[in-house]
Amino acid sequence: MKKRAGIILSVAATAGAVACTPPAELPRAFLSLGGIIAMVLAICVAAGVLEYRCWLHRIAVLVRPLMRFSRLPEPCALAFVASFASGNVAALMLADSRKEGAIDRREMILGALCNSVPSAFMFTCYLALPVIGILGRAGVLYFAVSFVIMAAALSVFLVLSRRLARGRVPAGGVAAAAPPLAWSEVRRKVRRRAWSFLVRLLLLTVPFYLWTACAIRHGWLNFTAPKNFEAFLSPAALTVIGSRVGGLLASSGTAAELLKQQQITVIQLVIALLVGNILNGFTRLVRRGLPVSMGIYPRCDGAVIAVAGVGTRMVLTAAAVVILWRLQ
């Protein structure tokens, strides 16, 4: 009965969002949705192969000290390794381990929070070299602060896990790998997992994504700077924050020109980029983080994980902004 009611509610929400979307914009919205669903399903296949063929066990020993400290069980350690390659792969592994009873709900959430940091770290590393090449000393300072924020977030999640996890991980760390499954069994398990996640994506991600697009189109999520904001940041900093919406590389060009013209200091520039990170973090959470996470994790756990993970980094970023502002 609950399942049928959920399907009816999802279909009604999707129909309402479609009705509120101009017909000319529907193809682009569904194309974006198709890309998200295809990405998750492809990652689902990759995660299945990595896990069921036991390839992750070969490098899981690298995170043994962290997992021993956090007291999280072996599936969380394997997902943590996978999160350096893809956060969605790690999410799918944790959700499937929860479904199979290998971990409980608390361990799944704690493991997912720990996994939210490595994927963000790898993406930031990817941008570091070109941005530092453009901004020089300001870029080095910005990424140094960013990496400190990520380390602080991971420390918070690891300590939280140590205090709350049930500590079922063996004393030696990650357990030895079981024999890898035959390819026929891997294909069967991967198909079953992919179908399960496809149903959740269609029922949860599609209506949420469409309604979020409607909210952005109608300006419900627009940010307006508070009054007297220029008392804290210069007009040039506001320009950097505005350009940050277009991406870090796009804002770096603007920032470099403002630095060259001496319209902004290095500290003010770093503050502006960090404030832009907070605003972008909220936008990414609503547009992509929540829909994808809710489509992967069961019940409302996806929303809890996405909000807690992004929210923690945003709070730590805000603290860094305050510290830098007082130091300037």
**Binning pLDDT at 50, 70 and 90, where does residue 170 land?**
very low
For the ranges 41-55, 134-148, 192-206, the one whose mean pLDDT is highest: 134-148
Per 3-state DSSP, the chain is made up of helix, strand and coil in percentages (nearest 5) of 80, 0, 20
Q: Is the pLDDT of residue 226 over 70?
A: no
| Pairwise pLDDT comparison (221 vs 180), residue with the higher score | 180
Q: Which amino acid is at 121?
A: F
**Binning pLDDT at 50, 70 and 90, where does residue 141 land?**
very high
pLDDT tens, residue by residue, 82-117: 787 777 778 888 988 888 888 888 889 998 999 888
pLDDT tens, residue by residue, 257-316: 677 777 788 888 888 889 888 888 887 887 777 887 887 888 788 888 889 998 999 999
Per-residue pLDDT at 155: 92
Q: Is 200 exposed, middle or buried (0-12, 13-18, 19+ CB in 10 A)?
A: middle
Q: Is 226 exposed, middle or buried (0-12, 13-18, 19+ CB in 10 A)?
A: exposed
Q: Is the pTM of this model over 0.85?
A: no
pLDDT tens, residue by residue, 13-24: 888 888 888 888
**Binning pLDDT at 50, 70 and 90, where does residue 41 land?**
confident
Per-residue pLDDT at 313: 92
Greatest alpha-carbon span in the chain:
65
**Distance (Å) of CA 243 to CA 10, 90, 186, 220, 271:** 36, 32, 46, 20, 14
Q: Rounded CA gap, 33 and 271, in Å?
A: 34
Q: How far is CA 40 from the centre of its chain?
A: 14
The chain-wide mean pLDDT, for the chain, equals 77
Q: Rounded CA gap, 289 and 100, in Å?
A: 24
